[in-house]
Chains A and B, each alone.
Chain A
Amino acid sequence: MSDAAAPAQPPDRRGLWRRIRGTQGRNLWFAAFVAPFFLGLVVFVYVPILWSAVLSFFEARNTVTPTKFVGFGNYAYLLQDRLFLNSLVVFIAFAVFIVPLTYVCSLGLALLLDKITIGRAFFRSVFFIPTAVSYVIAAIIWRFGFFNGARFGLLNSFLRSLGLEQPINWLGGGNNLYWVALVSARLWLQVGFYMILFIAGLNKIPVETYEAAALDGASGWRLLRWITLPQLKATSVAVIMLLLINAFQAFDEFYNMLGSIGQYPPYGRPPLVHLYLIALGGGQQDLGVGGAGTMILTSIIVVFGVAQNWILNRGGKA
């Protein structure tokens, strides 16, 4: 539907209002439909970002109406704060593990189910069901059930049965093994969802494409490499984008697996946890530095998003 298709306007009552309303009040209807969403977006997303921007230039400790302007002081402070810089490293390390791992596992499961005929719905449900479980609950199971550092965790019991005397303190930070717990928990929780996206992508590949390739004698890996994967490109892009955004938002399982009352260890801090501790959670309430952190993280994501869009568009044109 476009404006050209609309019936001719009556010649009277022209003017600005006419133009604002649009043909048959189209613009007004449009406004009515989008207003709730965009008003909410402004109040609860854009105003907060702007407020963060304002706070980031002030010394705002335990106050939201600061008076002491500090210019880029908070930015300078954060950019030399080793814990903050480390949190970016933590994010990158986490993303480097979780994104490819989830991608490969969810694609693998989708391909596996594609070939399975008996009990396909059952297996799909089983792989999908962790999606309904929360990060908090996964953290409880992982922290106390599997990766408990005391003698009774499932893994330590298992290792002892193999003859390992000293229990391993998985989450204690004396080693990097807490990554095993963090990555495996998230993998368990999210792999089913992405598997469904891949199944959806697989179903969209026309059967004829495969038949044509089969006639050419292609099979197995060659089919996967030359037909399936290229056809799944759009799905893959969406999956990787979502995985990265979710990795960047990591908070719940870190906080619940590593934190204790009012304390969070210096290791294994993704950016959101560190900002939470600075702004609201730790023994400090530095909303100025917190605001600066918000701005820095937002810029990183935006730059990254724009770059990805640009690369994809270029790739599309080439």
Chain B
Amino acid sequence: MRTSRVAQGLRYVIAIALALFFLLPLYVIVRNAFSTNANITSAKWNWLPDQVNLTNLTSLLANDSIGIGRAMANSAIMAGLQTLGTVVVSLLAGYALARYDNRVSRALLALTIFTLMVPAATTFVPMFIITAQLGWIDTFRGLVIPGMFSAFATYLFRQFFLDFPTELEDASLIDGCNPWTSFWRIVVPNSRGIIAAVGTIILIGSWNAFLWPTLVGRDATRTVQVALSQFMTSQGVRYPELFMGTLVAVLPMLFVFLFLQRYLVQGLTTSGLR
């Protein structure tokens, strides 16, 4: 028993050390966001920030070329709509693929798995052109809709519904529901966990998306990731503002994430990828 106690102590030491490493990048954001340019570019590394006030935040908000407030709002709208759309579309399809076993269903399932393998991003060129032909450049439609058809989400839902008992649905059908009403009244309320899990994954992916918003989002719909990326390479980059922008961009997701984490863990644990 003595060795196992030593081993256990060692495990905690490792866990704490690793936790510090994992938090270090986040600390660097905070440290730089509340520092002067001189503190950041100082040849001697200072662990502490030297400008703990709102100076950097005000100069960030005043900077038109980054437009952080607008970009945050755009990101929120885009991520919200895309999450909602993807979850609804994939939930319907995943449910049908799990419940209806016919030749078409099997073919569509194969197609879904195939799509999972094709890297979506390799098709960005023609996808951009189609979006452009639809007149969707610099619109939320263009940002949201092309990315709304996730084979990954559909597949996760299908796997979940395979394990989902059919008794409730059968009972509701006998009570006079049709498959549509039965789906919304019985199935969806009982699938909140997996919906939250998949929704969180989609939300994070959408908020963090870069390549597609770079191409499609312009003045009216520039997202925060694109704004930061452009700010980073533009002339006259000021580190304190850049990192303050980074802090502002990362905080909402961290809060959402800490809040939704439980569902995500549960959802992933109880189904889906095995």
Q: Do chains A and B touch in the complex (CB under 8 A)?
A: yes
- Assuming the contacts A259-B233, A291-B125, asked whether A145 and B258 have C-beta atoms less than 8 A apart, the reply is no
Q: Evaluate contact between A141 and B118: CB separation under 8 angstroms.
A: no
A252–B15 Cα distance when bound, in Å, is 29
Is A134 among interface residues, defined by CB-CB distance under 8 A?
yes
With an 8 A cutoff between CB atoms, is A251 at the interface?
yes
Q: With A112-B15, A196-B265, A301-B117 as known contacts, state yes or no: A32 contacts B180, CB within 8 Å.
A: yes
Q: Which residues of A contact B97 (CB under 8 A)?
A: 34
A150 at the interface (CB under 8 A from B): yes
| Chain A: minimal CB distance from B266 (Å) | 9
CB distance from B240 to the nearest CB of A (A): 11
User: A49 with B123: in contact, given A41-B149, A201-B274 (CB under 8 Å)?
Assistant: yes
Interface string of B105-149 (1 = CB under 8 A from A): 100100110111111111111111110000000000000011111
Is the C-beta of B234 less than 8 angstroms from some C-beta in chain A? yes
Interface string of A60-75 (1 = CB under 8 A from B): 0000100000000000
Is A52 positioned at the interface, with any CB of B under 8 Å from its CB?
yes
Min Cβ gap A182→B in Å is 14
Q: How far is the CA of A294 from the CA of B128 in the complex (A)?
A: 13
Closest-CB distance, A9 to chain B (whole angstroms): 16
B239-274 CB contacts (< 8 Å) to partner A: 239, 242-243, 246, 249-250, 253-254, 256-258, 261, 264-265, 268-270, 273-274
A18-55 near B? 1/0 per residue, CB < 8 Å: 00001000110110111011101101110111011001
A197 to B270, CA, bound (A): 10
Rounded to whole angstroms, the CA-CA distance of A290 and B239 in the bound complex is 36
Q: How far is the CA of A138 from the CA of B232 in the complex (A)?
A: 12
**What's the Cα separation between A109 and B264 when bound, in Å?**
18
B125 in contact with A280 (CB, 8 Å):
yes
- A41-B151, A280-B128 are known contacts. Are A48 and B123 too (CB-CB below 8 A)? yes
Determine, out of B37-45, B51-59, B61-69, B188-196, the stretch whose residues face the partner at the interface: B37-45
Give the residues in chain A near B146, CB-CB below 8 Å: 44
Contacts of A275 in B (CB 8 A): 122, 125
Mark the stretch among A94-102, A152-160, A168-176 that contacts chain B.
Answer: A152-160
Question: Which of A134, A158, A248, A291 is within 8 Å of B210, CB to CB?
Answer: A134
Q: Which residue of A lies closest to B15 (CB)?
A: A123
Chain B interface (Cβ < 8 Å from any Cβ of A): 8, 11-12, 14-15, 18-19, 22-23, 25-26, 28-29, 32, 40-45, 88-90, 92-93, 95-97, 99-102, 104-105, 108, 111-112, 114-130, 145-149, 151, 154, 166, 170, 178-180, 183, 204, 207-208, 210-211, 215, 225, 228-229, 232-234, 239, 242-243, 246, 249-250, 253-254, 256-258, 261, 264-265, 268-270, 273-274
CB distance from A13 to the nearest CB of B (A): 19
In whole angstroms, how far apart are the Cα atoms of A256 and B12 in the complex?
Answer: 35
Cα distance A260–B230 when bound, in Å?
9
B237 closest partner in A (C-beta): A144
Give min CB distance, A255 to chain B, whole Å: 8
User: Chain B nearest CB: distance from A278 CB in Å?
Assistant: 9
B250 to chain A, nearest CB (A): 6
Indicate if the CB atoms of B229 and A235 lie closer than 8 Å: no
Q: Which residue of the partner chain, among A26, A112, A146, contacts B28 with CB atoms under 8 Å?
A: A146
- A136 in contact with B228 (CB, 8 Å): yes
- Among residues of B, the one whose C-beta sits closest to the C-beta of A124 is B265
A86 CA to B210 CA, complexed, in Å: 24
| Residue from A115, A196, A204 within 8 A of B11 (CB atoms) | A115
Q: Which residues of B contact A112 (CB under 8 A)?
A: 11, 14-15
Task: Looking at the assembled complex, report how far the CB atom of B82 sits from the nearest CB atom of chain A, in whole angstroms.
Answer: 12
Show 28 residue pairs from A and B whose CB-CB distance is below 8 angstroms, ordered by the A residue: A29-B179, A30-B96, A33-B179, A34-B108, A38-B108, A64-B129, A109-B18, A116-B15, A124-B265, A128-B261, A132-B204, A133-B253, A137-B249, A137-B250, A140-B242, A142-B25, A144-B32, A144-B232, A152-B43, A196-B268, A199-B269, A200-B273, A251-B211, A256-B229, A256-B232, A261-B234, A302-B117, A305-B117
Q: What is the distance, in angstroms, from A156's C-beta to the closest C-beta of chain B?
A: 9
- What residues on B are CB-neighbors of A34 within 8 Å? 92-93, 96-97, 105, 108
Contact of A45 with B123 in the complex, beta carbons under 8 Å: yes
Which B residues are CB-close (under 8 A) to A146? 25, 28
* A51 & B130 in contact (Cβ 8 Å cutoff): yes
Q: How far, in angstroms, from A274 to B178 measured CA to CA in the complex? A: 51
In the complex, the answer to whether A280 meets B15 with C-beta atoms within 8 Å is no
Docked complex Cα distance between A197 and B265 (Å) = 8
Please give, as numbers and ranges, the residues of chain B lying within 8 Å of A109 by CB-CB distance: 18
Q: In angstroms, how far is the closest chain A Cβ from the Cβ of B153?
A: 9
Contact A141 B25 (CB under 8 A): yes
Which among A1, A32, A134 has the highest number of chain B CB atoms within 10 Å?
A134
**Given A26-B100, A115-B8, A123-B15, CB of A301 within 8 Å of CB of B246:** no
Interface 0/1 of A233-251, CB less than 8 Å to B = 0110011001001001101
> A200 and B154: CB pair below 8 A?
no
Question: Which residue of chain A has the shortest Cβ distance to B150 in the bound complex?
Answer: A37
Q: A36-B89, A199-B269 are known contacts. Are A55 and B117 too (CB-CB below 8 A)?
A: no
Q: Which are the 4 A-B pairs with shortest beta-carbon distances?
A: A134-B208, A33-B96, A37-B93, A40-B149
- The answer to whether A137 and B228 have CB atoms under 8 Å apart is yes
Q: A34-B96, A37-B154, A280-B125 are in contact. Are A298 and B118 (CB under 8 A)?
A: yes
Q: How far is the CA of A41 from the CA of B113 in the complex (A)?
A: 12
